[in-house]
Amino acid sequence: MERKSKKAWLYLLPSLLFLAAFMVYPLIDVFIYSVEEGYNSASQSFFGYGLYNFSYVLHDPYFIQAVKNTMILVVITVPLSTGFALLISLGLSSIKKLRDLFQTIYFLPYVTNTLAVGLVFMLLFKQTQQSPGLVNIFLGLFGIDPVNFLEGPYWAKMFVLCFYTIWVVLPFKILILTSALASVNQDYYNAAKLDGTSKFRTFTRITLPMISPMIFYLIVTGSIGAFKAYSDAVALFTTDLNAAGMNTIVGYVYDMLYGNSGGYPSYASAAALILFVIVLTITCINLLISKKISI
Amino acid sequence: MADYTDYEKIEKSAKVRQTVRKTLIYIFLGIWALVVLFPFYWMILTSLKDYGEYANEIIPKFFVLKPAVENYTSGFTAVPLGIYLLNTLLFAVATTGIVVIVTIFSAFAFARLNFRGKDLLFTAFLSLMMIPNELVIITNYQTITNLGLRNTFTGLILPSVTSVFYIYLLKENFEQIPDSLYNAAKIDGTSDFKYLFKVLVPICRPTIVTIVILKVIECWNSYVWPRLITSNEAYYLVSNGIQEIRENGFGRQNDPAMMAAVVIISVPLIVLFLIFHKKIMEGVSRGGTKG
Amino acid sequence: MKVELKGLTKKYPSRNKNEKKDVVAVSNFDYTIPDGALVGLLGPSGCGKSTMLNMISGLQKPTEGRIFFGDTDVTDISPENRGVGLVFQNYALYPHLTARQNILFPLQNLKGKDKLSKEAMEEKMHEAAKLVQIERYLDRKPSELSGGQQQRVAIARALVKTPKVLLLDEPLSNLDARLRLQTREEIRRIQRETKVTTVFVTHDQDEAMSISDYIVVMKEGVIQQTGKPQDVYDSPANLFVAKFLGIPPINVFDGEVKDGKIYIGNDPVLNVKNVKEGKVYVTVRPEGFIPSADGALKCGLKSLEIMGRDVSIISENPASLSESIRSIVDADIKLDPALSEVRFNIKPHKLFIFDAETEERIYFETV
């Protein structure tokens, strides 16, 4: 037994070492950082302990902007992408021809580099001196005035960011929902068909309840993912997100740590902890709602 | 429901409605397929445009007659795209390799071996799944910097070689293999190590393939950590590379050359996907989350 | 409602892409189900019986042939307009709805002139629940019900809209042996009370024999024989039907008709007339053997199984197609288990002969 025990720990050794060094220790450390006031990275010294870092971050207009941006992003993209993915999955599951082809196409964005393809989107929306950009030309066909999407009004920038985020997260959601729909036993649909159940009623009374666990899973993971948005924004608005007014909470954390305004791990830690608390709260609310509904 | 007299009519109109519905579905799906594919088309198209012509386009052309291949060569001459690709490949292979090994060992210990405190330790592992990367990255950045490992592959790879989620995934799979197989192997005098690699790993190959797929995609897209930890272009991965190219590369307006670079770094994963699309989609839906 | 099936054929494109030929699941199925009858479609798995059920319900369209409910051709009418109730093999109860909601579900679909008031729905639901005796469990979800109870809810859901035809797909296969007997009686009772024309599908001959008014025996998509269960048992039309019906199964021997006698191996067991001579299969039901010191059929005695009411004699004979011959005789007949040989006389009406080539029944007259 003793020998066995030793062997087990040996098998676990690599993961234990890595986790301790790069997960557990940093986790403790982030709390310490967050309460060390006036930390200086160069001299690695600080004045004392307190909650000043949190207060600083919470009063920083850049942080408030970042929270606002992130919240809007979550509130818009999570329901829209989930709903849209559901529509597409329903469409996919009701056809036979070309189904595999469509599925493969829809999945393509998942395997692309977010930053690289973000540049293509930037190009599509970009206004230059010669050209109003492809999207504006397209909108012009419908008589809509050109909009400076990337450097213009806030809502326009937000629209591009949301659009790109949805484009990026849809493949995963479509995949999950399509397989959830496929796993509903065909007999239920046959039973409903024999009873003359209308398409709409079949959807609301049978399909939806059966796949609702998956929908909630997507909403929970989707919210967490959207709260951590960063690289999509970088792709569209360059690394200086504060200047574009399009920073996200994660972006703020990294900016505090590194880059032009960097060198403040204490502020970064405080901001990261605030993010963690927000995500945890939202996730708990999501879970509570999902439990209420499924009972 | 006494007689069927009107049913012929009902059936006919139902057929018509059915056809209309199908057509609408195809149109809807087709439009979204276009939205998905268009950026790829545009990326390839732009990458083939001559810079001089491109800069003077007011309404962009939707085709090119004389593809400008020099955009692609400049991706390797004007900027070190080749190095970025090689770095990413090395990073992806090394990280994935280590992740798989570490995961197999840990999953085996949790699934098959008995030791004191196992349940407690596993619960502790699971609770680590809740911890977002953003929370620990700050200290990790400091740690790697203090160890003098910035701008090294070791620094790039080290923090991301253990994933609790993968350990969990594989442990569940290992536990589905009946005990009798393990006992049979024990009676035959097979060592644990041999049993693990000769029996468990081959049986659970689909899960391991899933882990490899997810990790490789993650590595290829990895941006934040490499950005923090590398300041020397010789260690840039494709994500940082493309950002660097965009901000300081060909000159801000040389979009065709930039798109050529985008095509080059997108192609490897897309080709892999087109070859293995069934496996990859299956793998991602088995246990994937992005973000 | 009488159900007429005329020349039904169902072909599927072959799954094997190299093979151009279609797979024929059902071929030229002709049968009329009398009004109010309980008919069992019986056959080994893959014989096309489930396809038949799906075609009657409308879930699948026949490649050829017509289906009539009464005088109406329903072949092109979609399932929801046919007025059929189907009980699925796995019941297909909606897991998120209670038994009550499951039974109400079909009623809530009714539209236009068929639409019911809330009270009428409740009443119909209670009627159906009472019929299958699950009133006590109405507020439970399927996962909180036993297999037998789920089965009843499924039947209630199928019956609640008073279908013209009730279809049951392997209704007993998901139940354990004890429940099976009970549910069997239950289905018979419900069918008698509602008088609804009922078709059920099974691979279990015992199940089909015990509750059906008529059975249809199928093999590879083709009807082998139809009729009342006892008639089919007593007079199988071919070797397949003879072997498929009956527990324990019928004993099959290589035999011959020669000089007005039926031979099993070299033993002449029966004198007959007006029969074509030649090689045949001789089959004898287990209850068709009479042990007798001067019996015509000589067998090596292997063992005796005494089971109260009767005794199974296990013996062997070189002409037998199986390793041992099982005969069931009255327990009063005493036999010394130490003997090495046992001799039988054969009851003529328990013996059938089949052509060795076509496996079709050859009828004979005894002398």
pLDDT tens digits for range B59-87: 777 877 778 888 888 878 888 888 999 99
- Cβ neighbours of B10 in C, within 8 Å: 81
B195 and B250 part of one domain: yes
**Is C246's Cβ below 8 Å from some Cβ in A?**
no
User: Does the structure show a pLDDT above 60 at B288?
Assistant: no
CATH number at residue C99: 3.40.50.300
Asked whether residue B57 is domain-assigned, the answer is no
Q: Which residues pair with C300 in a beta bridge?
A: C316, C341
Confidence grade of residue C276 (pLDDT, cut at 50, 70, 90)? confident
Chains that touch A (3 or more CB pairs under 8 A): B, C
B32 and B159 part of one domain: no
CATH number at residue A227: 1.10.3720.10
Which residue has better confidence, C332 or C74? C74
* Chain-chain contact of C77 with B11 (C-beta, under 8 angstroms): yes
* Chain-chain contact of B109 with A11 (C-beta, under 8 angstroms): yes
Contact (CB, 8 A) for C85 and C107 = no
Best mutation target among A184, A194, A295 (most C Cβ atoms within 10 Å) is A194
How does pLDDT run across A51-107, given as a tens digit for each residue? 888 999 999 999 999 999 999 999 999 999 999 999 999 999 988 889 999 999 999
* Chain-chain contact of A238 with B228 (C-beta, under 8 angstroms): no
Rounded Cα distance between C275 and C346, Å, is 18
- Cβ neighbours of C72 in B, within 8 Å: 3-4
- Cβ neighbours of A238 in B, within 8 Å: 243, 246-247
User: Does the structure show a pLDDT above 80 at A263?
Assistant: no
B148 and B43 part of one domain: no
Which residue has better confidence, A162 or A199? A162
* Chain-chain contact of B113 with A225 (C-beta, under 8 angstroms): no
* Chain-chain contact of B11 with C81 (C-beta, under 8 angstroms): yes
Asked whether residue B234 is domain-assigned, the answer is yes
* Chain-chain contact of C92 with A196 (C-beta, under 8 angstroms): no
- Cβ neighbours of B14 in C, within 8 Å: 78
Rounded Cα distance between A163 and C6, Å, is 58
Residues of C (69-128) whose Cβ lies below 8 Å from B: 72, 74, 76-78, 81, 83, 114
For the entire predicted model, the pTM comes to 0.83
Contact (CB, 8 A) for C156 and C134 = yes
C145 and C262 part of one domain: no
Distance of CA B247 to the CA centre of its chain: 25
* Interface residue ranges in chain A relative to chain C, Cβ cutoff 8 Å: 185, 187-188, 190-198, 201, 205-206, 209-210
Mean pLDDT of chain A: 88
For residue C227, give both structure tokens: 């009729």
Report the Cα–Cα distance between both ends of chain C, in Å, rounded.
46
User: Does the structure show a pLDDT above 90 at C238?
Assistant: yes
Rounded Cα distance between A81 and A76, Å, is 8
Confidence grade of residue C31 (pLDDT, cut at 50, 70, 90)? very high
- Supply the range of the domain harboring residue A273: 53-109+157-294
Best mutation target among B134, B212, B273, B275 (most A Cβ atoms within 10 Å) is B134
A–C CB contacts, 8 A cutoff, strictly below: 55
* Chain-chain contact of A185 with C79 (C-beta, under 8 angstroms): no
CATH number at residue B119: 1.10.3720.10
Nearest CA in chain A to B132: A276
| Separation in Å, CA of C77 to nearest CA in chain B | 7
Nearest CA in chain C to B3: C72
Three-state secondary structure of chain B: CCCCCCHHHHHHHHHHHHHHHHHHHHHHHHHHHHHHHHHHHHHHHHHCCCHHHHHHCCCCCCCCCCCCCHHHHHHHHCCCHHHHHHHHHHHHHHHHHHHHHHHHHHHHHHHHCCCCCHHHHHHHHHHHCCCCHHHHHHHHHHHHHHCCCCCCHHHHHHHHCCCHHHHHHHHHHHHHCCHHHHHHHHHCCCCHHHHHHHHHHHHCHHHHHHHHHHHHHHHHHCCHHHHHHCCCHHHCCHHHHHHHHHHHCCCCCCHHHHHHHHHHHHHHHHHHHHHHHHHHHHHHHHHCCCC
**Is C294's Cβ below 8 Å from some Cβ in B?**
no
Q: Which residues pair with C290 in a beta bridge?
A: C345
- Supply the range of the domain harboring residue C231: 3-244
Contact (CB, 8 A) for C67 and C3 = yes
For residue C304, give both structure tokens: 């005796």
B27 and B91 part of one domain: no
B41 and B153 part of one domain: no
Order of strands, edge to edge, in the sheet holding C197-202? C84-87, C165-169, C197-202, C38-42, C214-219, C222-227
Contact (CB, 8 A) for A193 and C85 = no
Q: Helix B81-112 crosses helix B70-77 at what angle (to 10 degrees)?
A: 70
In chain C, the number of structural domains is: 2
C240 and C256 part of one domain: no
* Chain-chain contact of A116 with B242 (C-beta, under 8 angstroms): yes
Asked whether residue B88 is domain-assigned, the answer is yes
3-state DSSP assignment of residue A53: helix
Nearest CA in chain C to B4: C72
| Separation in Å, CA of C61 to nearest CA in chain A | 14
Q: Which of C244, C273, C299 is the last residue of a domain?
A: C244
* Chain-chain contact of A196 with C94 (C-beta, under 8 angstroms): no
* Chain-chain contact of B14 with C78 (C-beta, under 8 angstroms): yes
Per DSSP (E only), the strands in chain A are: 36-37, 48-49
C257 and C238 part of one domain: no
- Supply the range of the domain harboring residue B21: 7-47
Rounded Cα distance between B11 and B272, Å, is 47
- Cβ neighbours of C111 in A, within 8 Å: 196, 198
Chains that touch B (3 or more CB pairs under 8 A): A, C
B135 and B19 part of one domain: no
How does pLDDT run across B150-208, given as a tens digit for each residue? 899 999 999 888 888 899 989 989 998 888 888 888 788 788 888 888 888 999 998 89
Q: Which of C225, C244, C263 is the last residue of a domain?
A: C244
- Cβ neighbours of A272 in B, within 8 Å: 134-135, 137-138
Asked whether residue B68 is domain-assigned, the answer is no
Of C90, C109, C157, the CB nearest to A197: C109
User: Does the structure show a pLDDT above 60 at B2?
Assistant: no
Asked whether residue A189 is domain-assigned, the answer is yes
Asked whether residue B87 is domain-assigned, the answer is yes
Asked whether residue B156 is domain-assigned, the answer is yes
C159 and C233 part of one domain: yes
B134 and B11 part of one domain: no
Confidence grade of residue B286 (pLDDT, cut at 50, 70, 90)? confident
Best mutation target among C82, C84, C105 (most A Cβ atoms within 10 Å) is C105
| Separation in Å, CA of B5 to nearest CA in chain C | 9
- Cβ neighbours of A167 in B, within 8 Å: 35-36, 39
B140 and B231 part of one domain: yes
- Cβ neighbours of B277 in A, within 8 Å: 104, 107
Rounded Cα distance between B185 and B195, Å, is 7
* Chain-chain contact of C81 with B10 (C-beta, under 8 angstroms): yes
Of A193, A206, A209, the CB nearest to C80: A193
* Chain-chain contact of B7 with C114 (C-beta, under 8 angstroms): no
The confidence score (pLDDT) of residue A43 equals 65
For residue C23, give both structure tokens: 């797979």
C220 and C320 part of one domain: no
- Cβ neighbours of B18 in C, within 8 Å: none
Confidence grade of residue B1 (pLDDT, cut at 50, 70, 90)? very low
B116 and B12 part of one domain: no
Rounded Cα distance between C49 and C91, Å, is 18
User: Does the structure show a pLDDT above 60 at C81?
Assistant: yes
How does pLDDT run across B17-57, given as a tens digit for each residue? 888 999 999 999 999 999 999 999 999 999 998 888 887 77
B32 and B122 part of one domain: no
Nearest CA in chain C to B8: C77
Three-state secondary structure of chain C: CCEEEEEEEEEECCCCCCCCCCEEEEEEEEEEECCCCEEEEECCCCCCHHHHHHHHHCCCCCCEEEEEECCEECCCCCHHHCCEEEECCCCCCCCCCCHHHHHHHHHHCCCHHHCCCHHHHHHHHHHHHHHCCCHHHCCCCHHHCCHHHHHHHHHHHHHCCCCCEEEEECCCCCCCHHHHHHHHHHHHHHHHHHCCEEEEEECCHHHHHHHCCEEEEEECCEEEEEECHHHHHHCCCEHHHHHHCCCCCCEEEEEEEECCEEEECCEEEEEEECCCCEEEEEEECHHHEEECCCCCEEEEEEEEEEECCEEEEEEECCCECCCCEEEEEECCCCCCCCCCEEEEEECHHHEEEEECCCCEEECCEEC
| Separation in Å, CA of C88 to nearest CA in chain A | 7
Nearest CA in chain C to B14: C78
Q: Which of C197, C219, C244 is the last residue of a domain?
A: C244
**Is C275's Cβ below 8 Å from some Cβ in B?**
no
B33 and B153 part of one domain: no
Nearest CA in chain C to B5: C72
C38 and C168 part of one domain: yes
Report the Cα–Cα distance between both ends of chain B, in Å, rounded.
55
In chain B, the number of structural domains is: 2
In chain A, the number of structural domains is: 1
Asked whether residue A137 is domain-assigned, the answer is no
Confidence grade of residue C45 (pLDDT, cut at 50, 70, 90)? confident
